[in-house]
Amino acid sequence: MRSLAVASPVPPAAAHRRRLRPSASGREVVSQCLKCEINQDRPMGALRIGHSQGNLPRHGSKNLLTPAAAAISVEQVEVSTYLPKGDMWSVHKFGGTCMGTPQRIQNVADVVLGDSSERKLIIVSAMSKVTDMMYSLVHKAQSRDDSYTEELDKVFEKHMAAAKDLLDGENLARFLSQLHSDISNLRAMLRAIYIAGHATESFSEFVVGHGELWSSQMLSYAVQKSGASCSWMDTREVLVVKPSGPDMVDPDYEESEKRLEKWFSRQPAEIIVATGFIASTAENIPTTLKRDGSDFSAAIIGSLVRARQVTIWTDVDGVFSADPRKVSEAVILSTLSYQEAWEMSYFGANVLHPRTIIPVMKDNIPIVIRNMFNLSAPGTVICKQPANEDADLDACVKSFATIDKLALVNVEGTGMAGVPGTSSAIFSAVKEVGANVIMISQASSEHSICFAVPEKEVAAVSAALHVRFREALAAGRLSKVEVIHDCSILAAVGLRMASTPGVSAILFDALAKANINVRAIAQGCSEYNITVVLKQEDCVRALRAAHSRFFLSKTTLAIGVIGPGLIGATLLNQLRDQVAVLKENMNIDVRVIGITGASTMLLSDTGVDLTRWKEEMQKEAKPADLANFVRHLSEDHVFPNKVLVDCTADTNVASHYYDWLKKGIHVITPNKKANSGPLDRYLKLRTLQRASYTHYFYEATVGAGLPIISTLRGLLETGDKILRIEGIFSGTLSYIFNNFEGTRSFSDVVAEAKEAGYTEPDPRDDLSGTDVARKVIILARESGLRLELSDIPVESLVPEALKSCSSPNEFMQKLPSFDQDWARQRHEAEAAGEVLRYVGVVDVLNGKGRVELQRYKRDHPFAQLSGSDNIIAFTTSRYKEQPLIVRGPGAGAEVTAGGVFCDILRLASYLGAPS
């Protein structure tokens, strides 16, 4: 007969209505009597667990029984210990990286002790790389590779060294004793596997699970060193699972709950350190939760105790909006819904295994992803959809994920339409070869079904389909079973995408403007994700384009500047002063990722520092190579929208525009050579521009910063008919003739213009009229005339005798000898009340153009100019009596660079920036 003293400070029923609090040691106050145990309802939020009186003193707990208590005698009495459930529990899971060294294990212990939760359950993985080492042991043993013994010795030495560094005294002795025993057992088991040449699944999983046993034991001893109440749990005693498919198990929650109750009745500590990854079958055979099983363990146990939250500690600050290895601008997400995390996991994002979410989702237990190595980072909370998120378009898409190395299988034929069982037959054949279907898309006409499978499985799938549908293919009911190799999937994930108009449009617009071709599309009726299949070579570019559109800014432009001379350098300085304003006010993110001159080039992956680009060009520049420069822009950067800005006057550079546009690179330039070059090349360039989503802007080719091209296009696009375009197109010649008056000689004015920087180094380049002729031909072609440059008669201002001068200096020295001829022309004009002006004319009605020196009355708009102003008059059907005039500065680096800058902003507007 055993005698047990039981406290009875309150009536039995009251004792059960009151929530029982744990003692300092984690022990629970026992219930009053067996009768009460049987008849009274259990307290809310607690499970009653019976255990024998002999187990109570374990771990040296205080005797909680009151001396004044009455005594009863029974043959065998079971007392009740309650497993509390609810917010008093926090569950932490630490991955292998967090447990990688003795110092890291101690850091984990410090984090655990720093958690103020009333009760804590700690789930740990094996030390980093140990699980792989254990799998290798099994593989080598069953392959009869003798080196498995050396590998086992390495495992032993790794854990022994870690324990000696971390523990001391009795705890160290206990751990090393257990380690020696485990290694001895493993050695015997591996020897048996070696002899048999085969390892059963249960043998293999028994071996592999030892890493978690050792790491969790070391952590529990490290926590106990602080004096905290801590117990160690081998989760094979608690978690029960049953196979549910290849390499997959499902938890048996009911049986696991019973076993946890029983375990807790024996060791009710405030801190429990448990093994992750490992479990048992219902027959008590050791098994594992398969890969990523430690996270799954934490979620299951968190569900069993209805924990306040489950924290997954890892080596990143949280969940990223995209793979940061592919998108350097990826951001940490503060919150994710369960569904979003689930979708992201399915599509390959390194978040959580989808199984991890299931146990906590049904009880609305949040999962927090945090960085063990950056405790200041708040991490990412995975929970029910937060109610306070703004339902704007940017918040609708939470993240992007990709899956590579896929093939697309397309089954197509008119005989499929309306025929029941076709889809079933297709996917039955796929199932028979064990292939995994990633995505399915079917046309509503039922004419075709396509689906994505891993590249390594597509050969078997194709063969199976050809066998299954041999007769249908021969009869023509199916036209083909086609395999498209080297594909990838891009998935946009977001719970708020559902019922939000415009998300798909923005996604596909971003892909189209990045010149991405989509092969297949799938979207479930839940609208949690939009999935597209595209070429694998386009996948990273597509990911960046989509991510940029939803996360960086409305428009992110990666710019390569060719020609950092006078105009190019001025443009770079203008960008330097304005990029911050553009990003703040217009959400336009401009990054100059390359600058190349004739001899050197500067490349950057994320953006050149424009405050010191000249210094970097000298210190870090590479030899100039235009092909490598373009390759860097198109392939080796992190931004989807690429722009080449040609600030040269080089014909060779202009000859590459077609190829750049074909690659999806936008082109902006003040260089006139492409649009005034051979007509067939110009027409080919414009045809490509109109047929693609790449843009070609060249406003500054005619009027520097003046809106001449855009004005002409506006007239034409609104249906106006151009009759005549006439203007002073050269800022240099405008300056010369505006100042060629009074008694001043022509040569003096030319010398003054050269000194002021208005002319080319050789003034003959301006005086020849070729530059004006190029502008005339550009406007003529914009107006629809198919003229070559040679079709434009040009009156040169260079005296015939001076065309052969060997240098600009010689030309300038001999020019005064012709001043009398110029003076005579000026006097004749003045006598008639006129002025001399050098103009270009596009006669659209007659299909002609010309460049010549003309005289205008002093009240004519062309006679009212000053400085280097340009002026262009558009005579149209609408502006017939009084031409539409555009006037302003037509020369100078500042205004020309400003015109190029305007084209950059126009491109940004076309790509989606706010107007």
Q: Maximum Cα–Cα distance for the chain, whole Å?
A: 141
In single-letter form, the type of residue at position 24 comes to: A
CB-based contacts of 804, cutoff 8 Å, min separation 6: none
Judge whether 437 and 458 are in contact, CB under 8 Å: no
Helix (H) or strand (E) holding 363: none
Distance CA 633, CA 620 (A): 17
User: 600 forms bridges with which residues in the sheet?
Assistant: 623
Distance CA 275, CA 127 (A): 12
With H, G, I as helix, E, B as strand and everything else as coil, classify residue 62: coil
Distance CA 638, CA 640 (A): 7
- Tell me whether residue 154 is one of the annotated catalytic residues: no
Q: What is the dihedral of CA 148, 151, 152, 155, to 10 degrees?
A: -160
User: Which whole-number Å values give the CA distances from 786 to 541, 658, 794, 849, in the listed order?
Assistant: 38, 19, 18, 11
CB-based contacts of 831, cutoff 8 Å, min separation 6: none
In single-letter form, the type of residue at position 643 comes to: V
- The string of DSSP codes covering 560-593 is EEE--SHHHHHHHHHHHHHHHHHHHHH-EEEEEE
Tokens 């027409």, located at residue? 683
691 C-beta neighbours (distance < 10 Å), count? 9
Strands (E), 414-554: 439-442, 448-454, 480-493, 518-523, 529-535
Identify the CA nearest to 553 among candidates 590, 578, 581. Answer: 590
Catalytic, out of 775, 803, 848, 880: 775
Judge whether 685 and 658 are in contact, CB under 8 Å: yes
| Terminal Cα distance for the chain, rounded | 91
CB-based contacts of 852, cutoff 8 Å, min separation 6: 793, 794, 795, 838, 839, 841
447 C-beta neighbours (distance < 10 Å), count? 14
User: 230 forms bridges with which residues in the sheet?
Assistant: 271
Catalytic residue numbers, as ranges: 775
